[in-house]
Amino acid sequence: MPPVIQTVRFRSGSETLEGSLVRPERDGLCPGVIVIHEAFGLNENIRDVARRLADQGYVALAVDLFAGRNRALCMFRFFSGIVLNSLDHGGIHDLKAALTFLTAQPGVDSTRVGAIGFCMGGSFAIAWAAADNRLKVIAPYYAMNPRPLAAVARLCPVVGSYPENDFTRGSGEKLGVELDRYQIPHDIKIYSGAKHSFFNETGSRYDAAAAEDSWKRVLSFFEQHLG
């Protein structure tokens, strides 16, 4: 049976956000995953990630952080937040609200929730996990680290995927060192020859081998920590 897909709305402070909620066709409690888009917004590629997670038994919520908002202004605020106030800006507040909504849904096990994010979304996932202990695992792709870097001492387990030919490579390498230091379970991999957005099969930088391998790692790591 195909997964059940619906458009949902939820409150974040005084605003209403939207998302695509995808449920697997199975009975009983399922783990939940928040899917966080990159700067392109909630597009078909990100919805497909949510569908693929549902195929594996997760209730996935792909959040639209730009819903009803000026995208350019959102981008300015979000990236300013990443640099100046990594752990407590508007994007983090929105994601906390999204997780509260997800864990209130029937059939979602609120004790088994995680997040996956790409570029901006991956950066959000790392910072958010350092500020919200409800998350049990995260999967950042080509992401930047929060400031201060010492905040990663509070992270849950991390499976991270980074391209060799990208400005985020150094972030991935530093994150691995810090997670070793704090003895946090992790699987950080730098993909030789890959470029930014290598997981997006609709884009010109798609790298099939890196995308396939990273997805297998994500599913294995999620099964270990959420399954």
pLDDT in tens, 76-135: 677 676 777 778 888 999 999 999 999 999 999 999 999 999 999 999 999 999 999 999
CB atoms within 10 A of CB 106: 7
Q: Are 97 and 17 in contact (CB under 8 A)?
A: yes
Give me the CATH topology for the region 4-226.
Answer: Rossmann fold (3.40.50)
Which residue positions in the chain have pLDDT lower than 50? none
Other Cβ atoms within 10 Å of 192 Cβ, number:
11
Q: What's residue 178's pLDDT?
A: 98
Q: Give the residue extent of every domain in the chain.
A: 4-226
Residue whose tokens read 């997964």: 3
Alpha helices per DSSP H over the chain: 44-55, 71-84, 90-103, 120-129, 169-181, 208-226
pLDDT on residue 80: 75
Q: Are 107 and 23 in contact (CB under 8 A)?
A: yes
Q: What pLDDT score was predicted for residue 69?
A: 73
Predicted pLDDT at 85: 75
Those residues whose C-beta lies under 8 Å from the C-beta of residue 183, and which sit 6 or more positions away, are: none
Residue identified by tokens 């350092």 is: 130
Q: What is the CA radius of gyration of the chain?
A: 16
